C-alpha cells in the first residue's frame, strides 16, 4: 500500500494569484486587478461588502466598484462573489446599473454569486448607524453600510444567506422576521416595514437567482482544469479584524487567511501573493497613524493625490511610507511581489521621507505593536531621500525613471526583501510600469 510514492495526485501545479492591500486600504488594488484580469479566466471577491471601494480607469472612463470584482470589465472572464462576502442586494443592483450606464456590458453572463454568502439588509445599515451614535466620541468611523452588523448576525448564527432567500420563501420570511425582532429588542428606535421588505426581497430573489451557484466546487474545478484564477482582496491588511489596528478595523479577515475561508480554497492552491503598496501612506477614519503629516506636506499629498474615499467621500489622512507596518503585513501575508502605486504623486517633492523603524523608550522595536494605544505612542525614525522633481506620468520603462525615483523603489525592495514587479505612475490602466 505504501511504497513511498503516492498514487494520488495532490500536487496542484496551477496556482491562484491573490492581490491584497498592504496598508490601510485605498492603495489602488482595483487597477492592479484590472491589469492582471486581462489574463484571468475567473476573478473573485472573498470578503467584505460594499464598504470597499475600487476605482478602475479604462479609456478615460472611471468605474467605481464596491461589491463587484474589478475584473468584471474583462469580457473574457467570470467574476465571482464568494461565500465570505456580505451582500446588500439593493446596493449590488444599483452598482450594476451605474456601471452599465458607464459602458459595462454582458455582465449577466459573467457574474457568479455564492449561495453561501450572507445578506446585508437595510436594517443592518440602520443598526450600524445607531451603534455609532451610541458610541459617541468613541465611534470607529464605520462606513455605515451594515457590514459589521451583518457579520455579527453571521457569527451569532442567525444570519440569512443567499441560499435561504432562494429556498422556501415562507422559511426565509420567518427568519427575516426573527432577525428584525431581535434587533428591535436591542434598538427600540429601529423601524422596519417587514411586509414591504419581504415584498421587495421576493422580487430580488428572482432577479438574483440566475447569478447564484455553489461556488466552492466551481472554483476547484476551474483551478484543476488549468484556468487562471485571480483573487481580489477588499479593504487591506491593517484593517483586518485580527491583525489590523483593532478596534479601528473592518469586520472581516482581509489578509491571506480570508482568501481561504472566503472562497473555500486550501492554502496549497495559493501561488503569487501581490501586495499593493501606495508610495506614501493614507487611512480613512480614526485610529493610530505613526507617519501622519498634520501639516502643509500632508495637505499637499491629500490634494495632489486626490485622497478622498471612493465609498465614504471622506478626506483621507496622509503621511510618509511606513516600512515597519509593511514588514508586518508582509509577515502575515507572505507577499511574493509588490506593486507600488501613485509614485507620480511624489513628483514635486524636494525631499521624501521613509519611516524605517519604530522606537519605544529610545530603543528600536523588534515587533509591530498589537494595541492601538501602543502604536499611537511609538517614536518614528525616518530616512530622507532626495526627490526627483520631474513628471514621471508618461514613463513606461523602469530604466527611464529618474535616478532618485529608482533609488526610492530600490530602497523599498531592500528594506522589505520583496521584489517590486509593477509601478503605478498615473490613473489609467496603461500607466503601469512592469519591472523586467
Cβ-contact 136, 165 below 8 angstroms? no
**pLDDT tens digits along 77-115:** 999 999 999 999 999 999 999 989 888 889 999 999 999
**Cell numbers describing residue 9:** 495526485
251 vs 264: CA distance, rounded Å: 19
Nearest in space to 57 (alpha carbons), one of 427, 433, 434, 432: 427
Q: Please tell me the predicted confidence (pLDDT) of residue 103.
A: 86
Q: What angle do CA 152, 160, 125 make, to 5 degrees?
A: 55
Residue 420 assigned to a binding site: no
- Residue 231 bridge partners (DSSP): 18, 44
Has 129 been labeled as part of a binding site? Answer: no
Q: Is 27 annotated to bind ligand? A: yes
Maximum C-alpha span of the chain? 72
β-strand partners of 381: 357
- 343 annotated among ligand-binding-site residues: yes
Tell me if 157 is assigned to a ligand binding site.
yes
Whether the bond into 94 is cis, omega within 30 of 0? no
Q: Is 310 annotated as contributing to ligand binding?
A: yes
Determine contact, residues 32/422, Cβ cutoff 8 Å: yes
Length of the chain: 436
Does the annotation list 336 as a binding residue?
no
- Please check whether the domain covering 118-208 is classified as CATH 3.40.50.11030: no
Task: Kindly list the catalytic residues.
Answer: 26, 54, 154
For residue 129, the tally of other CB atoms under 10 A from its CB is 13
| Domain ranges in the chain with CATH number 3.90.170.10 | 276-434
| 16-114+212-272: CATH class | alpha beta
This prediction's pTM: 0.92
pLDDT per residue, tens digit, the chain (436 aa), is: 455 556 666 667 789 999 999 999 999 988 888 889 889 999 999 999 987 776 777 667 777 888 998 888 888 899 999 999 999 999 999 999 998 988 888 999 999 999 999 999 999 999 988 887 776 555 555 667 899 999 999 999 999 999 999 999 999 999 999 999 999 999 999 999 999 999 999 999 999 999 999 999 999 999 999 999 999 999 999 999 999 999 999 999 999 999 999 999 999 999 999 999 999 999 998 999 999 999 999 999 999 999 987 666 788 999 999 999 999 999 999 999 999 999 999 999 999 999 999 999 989 999 999 999 999 999 999 999 999 999 999 999 999 999 999 999 999 999 999 999 999 999 887 899 999 8
Q: What is the pLDDT of residues 352-395, one digit of tens each?
A: 999 999 999 989 999 999 999 999 999 999 999 999 999 999 99
Cell 466551481 found at: 218
Q: Is 245 annotated as a binding residue?
A: no
Q: Look at phi and psi of residue 100 and say left if phi exceeds 0, alpha if psi is from -120 to 50, else beta.
A: alpha
**What cell numbers appear for 221 in the block?**
474545478
- 394 labelled binding-site residue: no
**Residue 26 DSSP one-character state:** -
Question: What is the model's pLDDT at position 113?
Answer: 98
pLDDT at 4: 55
Strand partners, 43: 79, 230
21 annotated binding-site participant: no
314 marked ligand binding residue: yes
Instruction: Decide which of 3.40.190.10, 3.50.50.60, 3.40.50.2300, 3.90.170.10 is the CATH code for 276-434.
Output: 3.90.170.10
**Buried b / exposed e along 38-60 (16+ C-beta atoms within 10 A):** eebbbbbbbbbbbbbbbbbbbee
Angle, in degrees to the nearest 10, between helices 169-186 and 194-208: 130
CA–CA gap between residue 422 and residue 271 (Å, rounded)? 17
pLDDT at 17: 97
Q: What are the start and end residues of each CATH 1.10.300.10 domain in the chain? A: 118-208
Amino acid at each position: 500500500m505504501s511504497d513511498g510514492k503516492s498514487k494520488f495526485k495532490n500536487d496542484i501545479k496551477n496556482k491562484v494569484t491573490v492581490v491584497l492591500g498592504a496598508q490601510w486600504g485605498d492603495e489602488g488594488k482595483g487597477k492592479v486587478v484590472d491589469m492582471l484580469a486581462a489574463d484571468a479566466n475567473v476573478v473573485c471577491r472573498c470578503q467584505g461588502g460594499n464598504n470597499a471601494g475600487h476605482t478602475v480607469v479604462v479609456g478615460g472612463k472611471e468605474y467605481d466598484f464596491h461589491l463587484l470584482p474589478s475584473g468584471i470589465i474583462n469580457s473574457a472572464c467570470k467574476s465571482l462573489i464568494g461565500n465570505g462576502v456580505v451582500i446588500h442586494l439593493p446596493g449590488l443592483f444599483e452598482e450594476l446599473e451605474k456601471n452599465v450606464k458607464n459602458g459595462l456590458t454582458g455582465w449577466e453572463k459573467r457574474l457568479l454569486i455564492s449561495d453561501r454568502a450572507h445578506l446585508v439588509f437595510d436594517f443592518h445599515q440602520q443598526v450600524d448607524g445607531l451603534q455609532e451614535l451610541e458610541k459617541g466620541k468613541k465611534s470607529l468611523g464605520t462606513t455605515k453600510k451594515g457590514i459589521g452588523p451583518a457579520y455579527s448576525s453571521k457569527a451569532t448564527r442567525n444570519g440569512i444567506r443567499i441560499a435561504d432567500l432562494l429556498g422556501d420563501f415562507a422559511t426565509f420570511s420567518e427568519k427575516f422576521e426573527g432577525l428584525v425582532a431581535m434587533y428591535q429588542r436591542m434598538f427600540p428606535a429601529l423601524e422596519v416595514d417587514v411586509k414591504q421588505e419581504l415584498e421587495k426581497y421576493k422580487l430580488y430573489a428572482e432577479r438574483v437567482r440566475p447569478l447564484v451557484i455553489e461556488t466552492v466546487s466551481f472554483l476547484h474545478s476551474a483551478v484543476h482544469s488549468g484556468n487562471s484564477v485571480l483573487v481580489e482582496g477588499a479593504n487591506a491588511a491593517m484593517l483586518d479584524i485580527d491583525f489590523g489596528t483593532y478596534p479601528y478595523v473592518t469586520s472581516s479577515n482581509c489578509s491571506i487567511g480570508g482568501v481561504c475561508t472566503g472562497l473555500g480554497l486550501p492554502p496549497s492552491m495559493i501561488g503569487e501573493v501581490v501586495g499593493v503598496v501606495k508610495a506614501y501612506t493614507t487611512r480613512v477614519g480614526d485610529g493610530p497613524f505613526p507617519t501622519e503629516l498634520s501639516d502643509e506636506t500632508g495637505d499637499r499629498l491629500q490634494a495632489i493625490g486626490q485622497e478622498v474615499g471612493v465609498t465614504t467621500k471622506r478626506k483621507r489622512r496622509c503621511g510618509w511610507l511606513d516600512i515597519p507596518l509593511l514588514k508586518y503585513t508582509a509577515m502575515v501575508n507572505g507577499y511574493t511581489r509588490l506593486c507600488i502605486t501613485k509614485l507620480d504623486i511624489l513628483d514635486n517633492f524636494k525631499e521624501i521621507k521613509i519611516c524605517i523603524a519604530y522606537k519605544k523608550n529610545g530603543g528600536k522595536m523588534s515587533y509591530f505593536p498589537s494595541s492601538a494605544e501602543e502604536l499611537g505612542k511609538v517614536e518614528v525614525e525616518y530616512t530622507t531621500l532626495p526627490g526627483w522633481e520631474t513628471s514621471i506620468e508618461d514613463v513606461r520603462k523602469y530604466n527611464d525613471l529618474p535616478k532618485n525615483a529608482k533609488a526610492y523603489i530600490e530602497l523599498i525592495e531592500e528594506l522589505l526583501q520583496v521584489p517590486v514587479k509593477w509601478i503605478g505612475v498615473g490613473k489609467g490602466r496603461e500607466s503601469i510600469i512592469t519591472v523586467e
